[in-house]
């Protein structure tokens, strides 16, 4: 082999080595896996350059120099694959290269001085080299498939890691939102508790206002009721004083008239009887009010419903007339005389009746202000015994209650009266007193021009 052919073969093998190293770098990702080896491979051309210099300049005649360089390239590739033996495609390439490299080593050993294998080994080397090439190609394909599989697994892992990081980020965000929402809910709960406390305080004030309003109406009725007998007492007392003065004058005259004196004494006696009668009337009113004003102990006692209802009807009417003396209404009563007594808390039941009567008088008064002159305000009160219940019916011919309002009329704080004229607790408290305090019923039935409230109280001991 001359120098020109040796140089050409060396150049070809250098180019092949460069292409192999370049392919291996890309296939095995050497810059990231073996950065030092990757830098050293940049100098793989140096031995080829030294040998080329020796052939061209120093006229080296060794025909085995190209084969030596090629063996050096293969050994370098093998060393890189050994360094990457933990990487599965690299192991497969190492397994693919091993028979081919072994064949090349044997072939290099069996080279003659002319650069060719000795003839007696030529067939064996060719056969072995063919087998090693097939082996090499087969395992290169296997390594390529492994590379593809690993790449897919890597992409899948990256996607899983990305999804995991996304889930972790979402979890962090959710935890942050949960913390913020918990803090907001805690703050809202504190505000609601404060609002509930304020509402209870306001409710207590409204209940007290409702009680005071009922007390005011009751007081006005009592004052009006007592005023009549007191007026009689005062009038008859004044007349009696005048008669006593006339009697003294008659007794001071020289000539007295016994008949006139007897007449004056009879009149004075009658006046004193009337004063006593109306004084007893005022005393009975005060006594009755004292009984009703006693603090309720919650004890149920036998109660005459007819007497209680009639008394509070009169008090409610007189209370309204004390506010508006121009108001007049027709009172219609229909009591069942054989009505049995019921076990009840009389002051509480009286408060219910006072509220119903006051609402009835308010309704007819409102209609009177809007209707023609022929309208006659009428409030009716009746009692009956039906199916083991004592029924108390309070009816008025006022404006009536719409159906939508009837459904909410017993709700706390609901009122149809203008602001300042009602708290919206009267019927709510009345409903609780009847249903919870007396195990009874309180219903309403209304149509335009007619409204009726019905109280049902069980006869006998209330459980």
**Mean pLDDT along residues 310-332:** 85
445 or 58, greater pLDDT: 445
Provide the pLDDT for residue 392: 94
**What's the rounded mean pLDDT across residues 442-447?**
89
Contact by Cβ (8 Å): 17, 70? yes
Topology annotation, domain 298-463? Heat Shock Protein 90 (3.30.565)
| Mean pLDDT calculated for residue range 324-341 | 88
pLDDT band at residue 420 using 50, 70 and 90 as cut-offs: very low
Statement: residue 243 has pLDDT above 70: yes
Between CA 97 and CA 307 the distance in angstroms is 122
Please determine, for residue 462, whether its predicted confidence score (pLDDT) is greater than 50.
no
4-44 pLDDT, tens per residue?
A: 555 666 677 777 777 877 777 777 778 878 888 878 877 77
Give the CA distances from residue 187 to residues 173, 174, 178, 191, in Å, rounded to whole numbers and listed in that order: 21, 19, 14, 6
Residue ranges, CATH 3.30.565.10, the chain: 298-463
For residues 294-321, one letter each, b for 16 or more C-beta atoms within 10 angstroms of the residue's C-beta and e for the rest, the string is: eeeeeebeebebbebbbbbbbbbbbbbb
Look at residue 379 and tell me whether its pLDDT is greater than 90.
Answer: yes
DSSP 160-194: HHHHHHHHHHHHHHHHHHHHHHHHHHHHHHHHHHH
Rg of the chain over all Cα atoms, to the nearest angstrom: 60
- Phi, psi (rounded to 5 degrees) for 119: -60, -40
Confidence of residue 380 (pLDDT cuts 50, 70, 90): very high
pLDDT averaged over every residue in the chain: 78
């Amino acid at each position: 082999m001359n120098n020109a052919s040796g140089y050409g073969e060396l150049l070809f093998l250098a180019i092949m080595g460069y292409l192999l190293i370049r392919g291996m770098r890309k296939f095995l990702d050497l810059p990231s896996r073996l950065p030092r080896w990757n830098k050293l491979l940049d100098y793989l051309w140096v031995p080829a350059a030294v040998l080329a210099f020796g052939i061209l300049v120093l006229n080296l005649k060794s025909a085995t120099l190209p084969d030596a360089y090629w063996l050096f390239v293969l050994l370098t590739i093998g060393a890189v694959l050994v360094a990457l033996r933990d990487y599965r495609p690299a192991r497969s390439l190492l397994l693919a290269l091993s028979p081919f490299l072994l064949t090349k080593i044997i072939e290099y050993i069996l080279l003659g001085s002319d650069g060719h294998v000795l003839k007696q080994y030529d067939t064996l080397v060719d056969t072995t080299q063919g087998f090693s090439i097939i082996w090499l190609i087969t395992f290169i394909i296997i390594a390529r498939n492994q590379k593809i599989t690993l790449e897919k697994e890597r992409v899948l892992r990256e996607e899983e890691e990305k999804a995991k990081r996304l889930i972790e980020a979402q979890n962090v965000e959710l935890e942050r939102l949960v913390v913020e929402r918990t803090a907001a809910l805690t703050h809202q709960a504190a505000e609601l508790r404060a609002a509930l406390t304020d509402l209870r305080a306001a409710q207590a004030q409204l209940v007290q206002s409702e009680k005071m309003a009922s007390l005011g109406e009751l007081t006005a009725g009592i004052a009006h009721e007592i005023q009549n007998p007191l007026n009689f007492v005062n009038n008859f007392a004044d007349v009696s004083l005048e008669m006593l003065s006339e009697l003294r004058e008659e007794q001071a005259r020289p000539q007295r008239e016994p008949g006139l004196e007897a007449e004056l004494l009879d009149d004075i006696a009658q006046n004193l009887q009337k004063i006593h009668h109306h004084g007893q009337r005022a005393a009975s009113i005060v006594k009755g009010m004292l009984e009703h004003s006693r603090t309720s102990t919650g004890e149920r006692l036998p109660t005459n419903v007819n007497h209680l209802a009639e008394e509070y009807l009169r008090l409610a009417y007189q209370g309204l007339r004390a506010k508006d003396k121009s108001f007049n209404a027709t009172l219609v009563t229909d009591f069942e005389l054989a009505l049995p007594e019921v076990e009840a808390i009389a002051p509480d039941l009286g408060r219910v009746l006072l509220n119903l009567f006051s609402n009835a008088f308010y309704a007819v008064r409102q209609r009177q202000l809007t209707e023609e002159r022929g309208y006659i305000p009428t409030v009716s009160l009746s009692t009956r015994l039906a199916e083991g219940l004592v029924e108390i019916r309070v009816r008025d011919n006022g404006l009536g209650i719409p159906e939508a309002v009837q459904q909410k009329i017993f709700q706390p704080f609901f009122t149809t009266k203008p602001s300042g004229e009602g708290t919206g607790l009267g019927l709510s408290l009345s409903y609780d007193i009847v249903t919870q305090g007396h195990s009874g019923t309180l219903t309403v039935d209304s149509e335009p021009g007619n409204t009726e409230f019905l109280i049902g109280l069980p006869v006998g001991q209330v459980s």
